[in-house]
Amino acid sequence: MAASSSKPVPLLKDELDIVIPTIRNLDFLEMWRPFFEQYHLIIVQDGDPTKVIKVPEGFDYELYNRNDINRILGPKASCISFKDSACRCFGYMVSKKKYIYTIDDDCFVAKDPTGHDINALEQHIKNLLSPSTPFFFNTLYDPYRDGADFVRGYPFSLREGVPTAVSHGLWLNIPDYDAPTQLVKPHERNTRFVDAVLTIPKGSLFPMCGMNLAFNRELIGPAMYFGLMGDGQPIGRYDDMWAGWCIKVICDHLGLGVKTGLPYIWHSKASNPFVNLKKEYKGIFWQEEIIPFFQAATLSKDATSVQKCYIELSKQVKEKLGTVDPYFVKLADAMVTWIEAWDELNNSAEEKTTENKAPVAAAK
């Protein structure tokens, strides 16, 4: 039986970083101020590093442009995309926090059907702090939500659930359609507020959108690589998709959960469908090969950590998708580079923490 959660949701303000990729400006943060002001922001500035991105007053942040990325990663910076919001994953790598929330700079606060502003971050935290149920579908959706529960017939042995690694939010107004659909339905707006959070069952893949996404960095961080997109690459707008397929295979393997549904944000900007079509074009064909690859992908018993899983996956990508296009060989190599960079940046952070702890203990 699920426990009811009428106690307040913890803020996690010292345990969560908000990662925002931007090339324009951060005006959208003004609307989010009441919800974001207490959190640390990691801004990843894409495009021209000489441009100065103004961050609204009062926010605590660190900002990285391309020069910073090159300086910090050296030759390994090659795995971070340029001229594509995929560069945001650099933010995941440099974060020192347990949780990440990432949001696009054209996403605003949405209203629920009662007209109240939706605190998207709070909902993501609720999602991440409560278990997932990937082994058996609950017809009343997330059983841990107030007012919901497991239905009759749901095996009791599966009611504890598993830890939630990812919380995938949705969008009102401009829906996340691909270019062909945008061309056919340029005026379609998502007005349907679906009051549900649900676990995506084990064995099922989904299109993960990076516009409104939160995850437990300790559980799945290293697998959140957003691939090689943008400048010099044959493809764009598949960064989050790629990460989504990888994390789902890995979460299924490691017994972690992925939730989708609430919270909604208000997506204001419809990107140009013709520009999108150019970026997505190859992806539309390639995904017909990529999907069966991920559906069939299995990881060995030795793959007991996210990094090990990811490296194994990269080998399979090279072997099986390398024949589709040489891009995948490059991508597989970049996946390895990413893990190397992640471990370098994050293991040394762990060492520092250990060093700092000792003197404090001695002082006592």
Partner 1 sequence: MSQVIINDNEVDIVIGALHSDLTTFMNAWKPVFSRFHLVIVKDPDLKEDLKIPEGFSADVYTKSEIERVVGSSTSIRFSGYACRYFGFLVSKKKYVVCIDDDCVPAKDNAGILVDAVAQHIVNLKTPATPFFFNTLYDPFCKGADFVRGYPFSLRSGVDCALSCGLWLNLADLDAPTQALKPSQRNSRYVDAVLTVPKRSMLPVSGINIAFNRELVGPALVPALVLAGEGKLRWETVEDIWCGLCVKAICDHLSLGVKSGLPYVWRSERGNAIDSLKKEWEGVKLMEDVVPFFQSVRLPQSATTAEDCVTEMAKAVKEQLGKVDPMFSKAAAAMEEWVKLWKSVGSA
Contacting residues toward partner 1, per CB under 8 A: 1, 4, 113, 135-141, 147-158, 168, 170, 175-178, 181, 185, 188-196, 200-209, 237-238, 240-241, 244, 260, 280, 284, 287-288, 291
Rounded CA gap, 329 and 346, in Å?
26
Q: How far is the CB of 149 from partner 1 (least distance, A)?
A: 5
Rounded CA gap, 60 and 206, in Å?
34
Q: How far is the CB of 338 from partner 1 (least distance, A)?
A: 20
Of the pair 4, 300, the CB lying nearest partner 1 is at 4
Q: Quick check: bond before 263 cis, omega within 30?
A: yes
- The position carrying tokens 């339905």 is 185
Q: How far is the CB of 320 from partner 1 (least distance, A)?
A: 17
Give me the sign of the Cα torsion angle 149, 154, 157, 161. Answer: negative
Of the pair 61, 327, the CB lying nearest partner 1 is at 327
Of the pair 105, 178, the CB lying nearest partner 1 is at 178
Rounded CA gap, 135 and 308, in Å?
23
DSSP string, 44-89: EE-S-TTSPPPPPTT-EEEEE-HHHHHHHHGGGGGGS-BSSGGGGH
Of the pair 162, 200, the CB lying nearest partner 1 is at 200
What share of residues in the chain are helix, strand, coil (percent, to 5)?
A: 40, 15, 40
Of the pair 182, 307, the CB lying nearest partner 1 is at 182
Helices and strands (DSSP H and E) totals, the chain:
10, 9
Of the pair 170, 309, the CB lying nearest partner 1 is at 170
- The token pair at 258 is 């992925």
Q: How far is the CB of 147 from partner 1 (least distance, A)?
A: 6
Q: How far is the CB of 68 from partner 1 (least distance, A)?
A: 30
Rounded CA gap, 290 and 285, in Å?
9
